[in-house]
């Protein structure tokens, strides 16, 4: 995506969250927290004195980024949401019940990942409904299994997860690049902690959703249709379209040959859609 956007004349900033990329990697998963990730993004934007931002948020980038957008709408000119969401759980709510048998949970998750072929069949039709192929593959896993697998299973690798979440196969070079920031398991504290951060999110997003429900600046959704989880569902996409005013009248899209990590599957196309979105929604002075 980045070369397409810079070639079109835009400045692109891709921030590493703590524990990711080339950023610092505290080794203890307990060090990481959702609120701290949100605060770091806020400080990052302030330290660089960024303004007029067009935010592209996906997966945990949306769970973190939409919180910042909702609480600081004045920093942003536009938002693009891709396969993501911002949950609204009450304070003290525990969204998932962790399995008593961790070994069984991690085996279930490993089995699910192992069944995902490098090049995926179409698991949703053009209306976003599950196909028979997906039902034969066993359907979605439990998110609690994913929390346990990421945290405790030594077979966990970033490239493995990315491959399972893409429509097209990754090349050996791409797989190696995803694993390169994590030369040993001890460096994976941040990525291993991420799924479990959902357990402490209750009551942390209320003010952000107040801001999002009154966010009238342009808001576009681009969804990888082959993402079989909640983030790829029509229901999740429509929830944001219906609840964020700036989404009205925008050309919301579902990319048929793209899965959860749509920026890997259709990066050039996603960038093209963002460029069209920016040009169609100039900032009024």
> Which residue in 17, 37, 59, 265 is the catalytic one?
59
Residue 253 structure tokens: 């899209």
Identify the CA nearest to 190 among candidates 220, 150, 219. Answer: 150
Do the beta carbons of residue 195 and residue 147 sit within 8 Å?
A: yes
Identify the CA nearest to 69 among candidates 53, 83, 82. Answer: 53
> Which residue in 17, 37, 227, 264 is the catalytic one?
227
Q: Pick left, alpha or beta for residue 128 (phi over 0 → left; psi -120 to 50 → alpha; otherwise beta).
A: left
Element (H, E) at 253: strand 253-255
3-state SS track over 163-187: HHCCCCCCCHHHHHHHHCCCCCHHH
24 is catalytic: no
Instruction: Please state, in angstroms and rounded to a whole number, the distance separating the CA atoms of residues 220 and 160.
Output: 29
Identify the CA nearest to 260 among candidates 87, 110, 119, 84. Answer: 84
227 is catalytic: yes
> Which residue in 17, 37, 240, 260 is the catalytic one?
260
101 is catalytic: no
Identify the CA nearest to 222 among candidates 235, 242, 243, 237. Answer: 237
Known catalytic residues are: 59, 227, 260
């Amino acid at each position: 995506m980045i070369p397409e956007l810079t070639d079109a004349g835009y400045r692109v900033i891709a921030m590493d969250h703590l524990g990711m990329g080339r950023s610092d990697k505290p080794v203890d998963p307990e060090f990481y927290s959702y609120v701290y990730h949100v605060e770091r993004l806020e400080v990052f934007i302030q330290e660089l004195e960024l303004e007029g931002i067009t935010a592209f948020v996906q997966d945990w980038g949306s769970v973190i980024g939409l919180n910042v957008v909702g609480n600081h709408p004045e920093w942003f000119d536009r938002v693009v949401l891709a396969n993501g969401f911002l949950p609204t759980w009450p304070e003290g709510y525990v969204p998932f019940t962790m399995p008593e048998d961790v070994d069984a949970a991690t085996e279930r998750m490993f089995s699910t990942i192992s069944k995902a072929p490098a090049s995926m069949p179409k698991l949703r039709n053009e209306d976003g409904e599950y196909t028979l192929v997906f039902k034969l593959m066993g359907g979605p896993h439990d998110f609690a299994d994913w929390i346990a697998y990421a945290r405790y299973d030594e077979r966990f690798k970033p490239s493995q997860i990315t491959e399972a979440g893409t429509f097209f196969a990754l090349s050996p070079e791409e797989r190696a690049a995803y694993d390169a920031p994590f030369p040993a398991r001890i460096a994976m504290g941040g990525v291993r902690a991420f799924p479990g951060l959902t357990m402490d999110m209750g009551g942390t997003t209320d003010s952000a959703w107040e801001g999002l429900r009154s966010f009238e600046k342009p808001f576009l959704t681009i969804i990888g249709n082959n993402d079989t989880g909640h983030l790829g569902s029509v229901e999740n996409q429509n929830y944001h379209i219906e609840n964020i005013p700036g989404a009205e009248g925008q050309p919301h899209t579902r990319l048929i040959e793209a899965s959860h990590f749509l920026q890997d599957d259709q990066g050039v196309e996603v960038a093209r859609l963002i460029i069209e979105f920016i040009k169609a929604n100039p900032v009024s002075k």
